[in-house]
Structure 1
Amino acid sequence: MGVNDRPAPTRAQIRRWRRYLADERAEAAVYRDLASRRTGEERAILLELAEAEGRHEEHWRTLLGEHVGYPRRGALRTRVLGWLARRFGGVFVLALAQRAEARSSYAADEDATSAMAADEQIHGEVVRSLATRGRSRMSGMFRAGVFGANDGLVSNLALVLGIGATGVSGQTVLFTGIAGLLAGALSMGAGEYVSVRSQRELLEASRPDPSTAEAIPHLDVDANELALVYRARGMNAEEAQAHAREVLSAPALRHAEHPESEFEEIGTGLSAAVSSFFFFASGALLPVLPWVFGLSGTTAVLVAAAVVGLALLLTGAVVGVLSGAPPLRRALRQLAIGYGAAAVTYVLGLAFGTTVA
């Protein structure tokens, strides 16, 4: 049945189609804004996505016909996404766009075509791949920063609550918290430096030796030891022999055999250590703030728990968005882990304080 043969749309359909139209227009604008901050292949891909959203927009415009009305604004979350895309345009925005594509209801809407539903599903995978590129380019400094801050929040909250529950003075809790901040930050920085340096050294040891290419012209073509190299890299015997013959017969490939391979973007040991130190310190400072400002007793405990709880929710949500997981679920999980650790030490502190008394 063609568009002209369709029965007159109901008021509910008109409202829904207008909402779809506004959302498609807003999503196309998001992709264009993201494309404006990129170059090369990523820019081209994002512009293609915007064009596809434009086709979907035209579908709803055609169905609405004379009922199209004045242009409406897209959903609030799409407008917020557009604002972020215009001002930032990083992997965080791509991760949000990935989740937006996953929320499409076209598969369950009889007024949307099956091609449109399939488009939205594929769009989600395209954006996921673009976001994955961005995630892989994120240096070790970001990883160290996020997890350093989270460790600082949890460990120092547990420390000051555990010590505070024993009944010691507020000044003792304050100095204990500062000592925990410095000790933890230094430990995190040193550990991150060793971890990243070790990882870079392992990657360095796995890189092909570029001088090996100089031996290729002198190989015995019949024995073809080069094939063993490719078999060691995972090719089967036939594939290795074929590739080795190709390399031996094409001088240009000899130089391409061992390109200057890029390190996995894990950052440098120093940058990861510095980032980890300062982010751990910033996280560990929050639980101590109530005692810094002169609070004590139960009031200080409640304020510290509330401040750290908000920070845990924020870090959990950020990690959830960047990893493509539901941010609320990650935020609540982060909160539960942090509060769980703090509760254990607080109860132990209470028990220890009672025993001492």
Structure 2
Amino acid sequence: MTAPVQPTAADRRQWARYLVEERAEGAVYSRLATRKTGEEREILLALAEAERRHEQHWLKLLGGEPARLPRAGFRSRMLGWMAGRFGSIFVLALAQSAEARSPYDAEMHATAAMRADEKVHHEVVRGLAARGRRRLSGSFRAAVFGANDGLVSNLALVLGIGATGVSSSFVLFSGVAGLLAGALSMGAGEFVSVRSQRELLTATEANNDADAAAGDLDIDANELALVYRARGVGPEEALARAERVVTAARAGARRTTTGTVGTHAGHSDHEIVGNDWTAALSSFLLFASGAIVPVLPWIFGLTGLAAILLALALVGIALLTTGALVGILSGGPPLRRALRQLAIGFGAAAITYALGVVFGVGAL
């Protein structure tokens, strides 16, 4: 029988790195759990406990706690810092990417159970991140759309106006006018959109009139069942609900459960759509926050090429930032999404600038 192979110094250093990474990941899940309640908290605590199991594996191979340990990687330290300060959706989106790249697939000293654990962890984190994405999707889409619309449209406006050779004061006036016009247009459009949708929901909302008259029916519950069938309930379930309503009404009871023809669904739909004034104000501010960026050089007195270059730089940073955020939250590569956002924004601005040059030369 051959003696077990003694670990090399390189092996021990690698095990120590695995150890600190497992501790860092467990700390991330534990910190996120403190910001949650109910099922999500239990899931995060279970993930933290699993990381502790992995930690014990490396401690056993190392023969106990090493005297010195390396620092966790930059990504793990960043996740730990973010976990205590930001919303969990950003941290979980980053953790999802980290869990997808398990080092244990090619690590001979990791157990098969640990490799399987990492794959399961990736799916668990993906599921938790998906919950957050669903909660965030509507408002995040509006935020990205509003801010980027302001950035790109006003950059294109000031570059196009500036390319015609007009004075810097005219460029500034045009930029401010574009900001106000665009923000007001966005706000008004969002107000009309949300108000119209709420009015449409109100027109299709259920009421309790049929239930209130159920006790006076002199026929079986079949006709009342048509109310439920018209709302998409199957024939058997519709008949069963109608019979319960008629029975309760004849006994003098008021039906307040989900079996009644109530307004609960309408209230929920209204909450999903949101408030029209809130939506309008949010759209106004989001557009304005983006549209002010290209105008800043002229506001602070810059002119000519210097103002244009600074406007491009500021808008470029903003586009890269929003693109990277979209990438993080969608689970995609942040750099690719950031560059895509930059290319789209600068492409639109370049076309407008070229048109401004053409019209400016023509005017001369």
TMscore range, shorter length:
0.7 to 0.9
Pairing 1:329–2:330 present: no
Q: Which moved more, 1:200-209 or 1:156-165?
A: 200-209
Over residues 17-46 of structure 1, what are the superposed CA-to-partner deviations in whole Å (9 max), with x where a residue is unaligned? 222211111111111111111222221111
Match of 2:31 in 1: 33
Match of 2:299 in 1: 292
**Residue 15 to residue 227, structure 1, CA distance change in 2 (3 Å):** farther
Match of 2:350 in 1: 343
Tell me if structure 1 keeps the 8 A contact 2:172–2:298: yes
**Residue 233 to residue 115, structure 1, CA distance change in 2 (3 Å):** farther
Q: Which moved more, 1:247-256 or 1:147-156?
A: 247-256
Match of 1:307 in 2: 314
Secondary structure class of the residue paired with 2:274: coil
Distance 2:118 2:241 in 1: 40
Q: Which moved more, 1:343-352 or 1:64-73?
A: 64-73
Q: Which has the larger radius of gyration?
A: 2
**Residue 107 to residue 208, structure 1, CA distance change in 2 (3 Å):** farther
Tell me if structure 2 keeps the 8 A contact 1:287–1:305: yes
Pairing 1:65–2:63 present: yes
For residue 117 of structure 1, report the CA deviation from its aligned partner: 2.7
Secondary structure class of the residue paired with 2:306: helix
Match of 1:151 in 2: 149
For residue 148 of structure 1, report the CA deviation from its aligned partner: 1.2
Match of 2:286 in 1: 279
For residue 150 of structure 1, report the CA deviation from its aligned partner: 1.0
Q: Which runs of 5+ in 2 are unaligned?
A: none
1:207-226 equivalence runs, <5 A: 208-214=206-212, 224=222
Match of 1:353 in 2: 360
Secondary structure class of the residue paired with 2:108: coil
1:8-27 equivalence runs, <5 A: 8-27=6-25
* One-letter amino acid of the counterpart of residue 52, structure 1: A
For residue 208 of structure 1, report the CA deviation from its aligned partner: 4.5
Tell me if structure 1 keeps the 8 A contact 2:211–2:245: no
Distance 1:5 1:254 in 2: 75
For residue 255 of structure 1, report the CA deviation from its aligned partner: 1.3
Distance 1:123 1:202 in 2: 43
For residue 277 of structure 1, report the CA deviation from its aligned partner: 0.7
Tell me if structure 2 keeps the 8 A contact 1:34–1:46: yes
Tell me if structure 1 keeps the 8 A contact 2:33–2:40: yes
Match of 2:327 in 1: 320
Q: Which moved more, 1:179-188 or 1:91-100?
A: 91-100
Tell me if structure 2 keeps the 8 A contact 1:138–1:265: no
Tell me if structure 2 keeps the 8 A contact 1:163–1:349: yes
**Residue 244 to residue 74, structure 1, CA distance change in 2 (3 Å):** farther
Over residues 250-282 of structure 1, what are the superposed CA-to-partner deviations in whole Å (9 max), with x where a residue is unaligned? 999971335724236443221121111112112
Q: Which moved more, 1:73-82 or 1:169-178?
A: 73-82
Tell me if structure 2 keeps the 8 A contact 1:144–1:192: no
* One-letter amino acid of the counterpart of residue 115, structure 1: A
Tell me if structure 2 keeps the 8 A contact 1:217–1:248: yes
Distance 1:249 1:23 in 2: 63
Tell me if structure 2 keeps the 8 A contact 1:316–1:330: yes
Secondary structure class of the residue paired with 1:148: helix
**Residue 34 to residue 216, structure 1, CA distance change in 2 (3 Å):** farther
Distance 1:248 1:72 in 2: 72
TM-score by length of 2: 0.84
Correspondence for 1:164 among 153, 162, 165: 162
* One-letter amino acid of the counterpart of residue 309, structure 1: G
Distance 1:244 1:123 in 2: 46
For residue 345 of structure 1, report the CA deviation from its aligned partner: 0.6
Correspondence for 2:103 among 86, 105, 116: 105
Tell me if structure 2 keeps the 8 A contact 1:14–1:67: no
Secondary structure class of the residue paired with 1:180: helix
**How many pairs were matched up?**
354
Match of 1:81 in 2: 79
For residue 196 of structure 1, report the CA deviation from its aligned partner: 2.5
